[in-house]
Structure 1
């Protein structure tokens, strides 16, 4: 059966239909999302997007944490997104609004990794890790396509961002904001975004290239011990930083590649997980 999927970010919501087997994605709609509005208004925006989908078989939803993906309760606070949803039962509200009983929530970083395992760069790899880097850093460690969150071979909850690096939260060293901060510290100038820093590096700007290299060397240092413990044989990078992979791959001492589909991997992963758990 085709799977209806919402992929929710801090500024957008994508509604799509995913066909199992071929994993073709039909993007029905991508709309801006005012995520800082009151809970009822956010639910209304999400429901408007979902109503464009065939919902007879239920709905899979990929979105960022902090969120209780089992119960559907949001725990966002001081995130710059969804702050009005703290303690709010999004699952119940959205299900009631849509009249949908089968509603599955999944962490977007995990959805990305499962999507890449299902139809992307790490397809069928026995032990792999997906790393998404944007506003923050998301990770998912997979064993035969299933997310591993517990045990001493993965970070707490399988989430690398919960660890520290050089005595500080990891995202102080590797994230979009960390890259922008390092660039400002090195040049005295502000860059509009990571893409612009990457463009400058490709154009021969040695400082821009050095900033990217330093950040990803830090990522390698933080991630490598977990890669060794879990027995990862291949890593896939996604998120806004995937487009700079050509500049930073030499900083990574492990087998890695960048996603070829930044738009659809999380949609495919959410659909695959839904089919596995909700049939």
Structure 2
């Protein structure tokens, strides 16, 4: 059966239908989302987008944490998004608004990794990890396509951002804000975004290149022990910064590549997870 999927970000929501087997994605709508609005406004905007999908078989939803993916309760605070949803049962409210009781939530970084395992860079790999880098860093460690969150071979909850590096939270070393901060500290000038830093590096700006290399060297140093413990054979990078992979690949001294489909991997992963769980 085709799977209806929502992917929720900090500023937008994407609605799509995913066909199992071929994993073709038909994007139905991409709408702006007022993530800092009141809970009822956010629910209304999500429901308006979801109603454009065929919901007879239920709905899979990929979204960032902190979120209780089992109960559907949001725990966002100080994230710059969804602060009004703290302690709010998004699953119950959205299910009631849409008149459906089959909703399945999934962490967006895990959805990305499962999508890449299903139809992307790490397809069928026995042991792999997906890393998404944007405003923060998300990770998912997969064993035969199943997310592993517990045990001493993965970081706490399987989430690398919960670890420290050089005595600080890892995201102080590798994230969009970390890259921008390091660039400003190195050059004395601010860049509007990581894309602009990457563009400058491609144009021959050595400071821009050095900043990107330094940040991804930190990522490699922080990630490497976990790759060894888990027995990872390949790492796939996603998120907005994956577009700079050509500039930073040399900093990663382990088998790694960037996703070829930044738009659809999480949608495919959420659909695959839904099919496993809800059949």
The TM-score normalised by the length of structure 2 is 1.00
Q: CA deviation at 1:103?
A: 0.2
Name the SS of the counterpart of 2:46 in structure 1.
helix
1:219 equivalenced with 2:222 (yes/no): no
Q: CA deviation at 1:274?
A: 0.2
Q: CA deviation at 1:28?
A: 0.2
> Using the alignment, how far apart are the partners of 1:212 and 1:78 within structure 2?
27
Written as runs of structure 1 = structure 2, the 5 A alignment for 1:116-135 is: 116-135=116-135
1:263 equivalenced with 2:263 (yes/no): yes
Written as runs of structure 1 = structure 2, the 5 A alignment for 1:44-83 is: 44-83=44-83
1:70-110, Cα deviation, whole Å (9 max, x unpaired): 00000000110000000000000000000111100000000
1:147 equivalenced with 2:147 (yes/no): yes
Written as runs of structure 1 = structure 2, the 5 A alignment for 1:26-41 is: 26-41=26-41
> Using the alignment, how far apart are the partners of 1:173 and 1:75 within structure 2?
25
Q: CA deviation at 1:179?
A: 0.1
Written as runs of structure 1 = structure 2, the 5 A alignment for 1:13-32 is: 13-32=13-32
Written as runs of structure 1 = structure 2, the 5 A alignment for 1:152-163 is: 152-163=152-163
Q: Which residue of the partner structure matches residue 90 of structure 2?
A: 90
Gaps of 5+ in 2: none
1:92-150, Cα deviation, whole Å (9 max, x unpaired): 00000001111000000000000000000000000000000000000000000000000
Name the SS of the counterpart of 1:34 in structure 2.
coil
Q: CA deviation at 1:277?
A: 0.3
Gaps of 5+ in 1: none
Q: CA deviation at 1:225?
A: 0.1
1:144-180, Cα deviation, whole Å (9 max, x unpaired): 0000000000000000000000110000000000000
Written as runs of structure 1 = structure 2, the 5 A alignment for 1:114-263 is: 114-263=114-263
Structure 1 residue ranges (4+ consecutive) displaced by more than 3 angstroms after TM superposition:
none
Q: Which residue of the partner structure matches residue 10 of structure 1?
A: 10
> Using the alignment, how far apart are the partners of 1:144 and 1:42 within structure 2?
36
